[in-house]
Amino acid sequence: MSRLIKGVCRLIIRLIQLVLTLFLMGVGLYIYVRYIEPRLLVVEKESLDTHYFEAEGLRIVQFSDVHLGEYYSIQDLVKLVDQINKCSPDLVLFTGDLLDEGGKYREGEQVGRLLKEIKATYGKFAVYGNHDHGANGSKLYKQIIEEGGFTLLKNNDVLITLPSEERIRIMGIDDHSLGNPDIKSAVRQIKKEEYNIFMSHAPDCADEVKAYPVDLQVAGHSHGGQVALPFLGPPFTPPYARKYIKGLYTFEANPRMTLYVNRGIGGSQLPYRLMNIPEVTLFLVGSK
């Protein structure tokens, strides 16, 4: 009988140890996804081959989905601006969702001043995200982004001519969820002999964009799924980010075009991230 009692006691102790181990692992995982990974920031470097920039190439920085608000502060934005400037960009592209709750945001003037500190040799460009339109925030976002020295593209384009006479056409569309995107209007002046960049908040429109001589499409919106499960990937991504979720994509139908989906900076609704570290993307285009 004593052996049986001792055996039961050992089993109970092992069960308690297992429960405690699982509990501590759960606590550790929660701390990581809530307080550690969302505070990280990495610079993802992508080299893009092209014969267009034969002289010196181009450094392009993309950032996306900042979601300023309850979970991403002005102090966080200061660090982000500093990181972008350390990349020494020629162009800066912002693919939407600056504000988490559009018209409810009350620190817009300070945000505009900080964005103005971002330096880019040939200009800074932005498009609307769905959260920028939300809560009647469209006008506020436009005001902030333009005060920050960005050109806001909404179904239109801008042509940049470099000192070397090489030309870059940057096209951008309105948000798919809450705006009125018009790809045909944005690409109406596209020319295959130029280097063409297409900006959209939502990535899945790439299947339509690839019909045009676009070299690089940049997008965000998905946050990479924000929380990805090992071996399974993200259990949820938002509409218009169901097919292209994060990272680099190429297309057999248009070998010229590359799509890049940025994981974003902040978190929407829930401040958790797993296997989706916030990123700034640095594209090294051509020989630079």
| Residue 55: predicted pLDDT | 60
Distance CA 226, CA 165 (A): 41
Cα–Cα distances (Å) from 252 to 58, 81, 104, 106, 278, in that order, read 25, 36, 43, 46, 29
- Confirm whether pTM is higher than 0.85: yes
Q: What would the pLDDT profile of 62-81 be if each residue is shown by its tens digit?
A: 999 999 998 999 999 999 99
Q: What would the pLDDT profile of 197-217 be if each residue is shown by its tens digit?
A: 999 999 999 999 999 999 999
| Residue 287: predicted pLDDT | 59
CB 239 within 8 A of CB 177: yes
Q: pLDDT grade, residue 233 (50/70/90)?
A: confident
Closest CA to 197 of 223, 161, 177, 171: 171
Q: What would the pLDDT profile of 133-168 be if each residue is shown by its tens digit?
A: 987 889 999 999 999 999 999 999 999 999 888 999
Give yes or no for residue 49 having a pLDDT over 90: no
Q: Which residue has the tokens 């945000």?
A: 111
Within 10 A of 271 (CB to CB), how many other CB atoms are there? 17
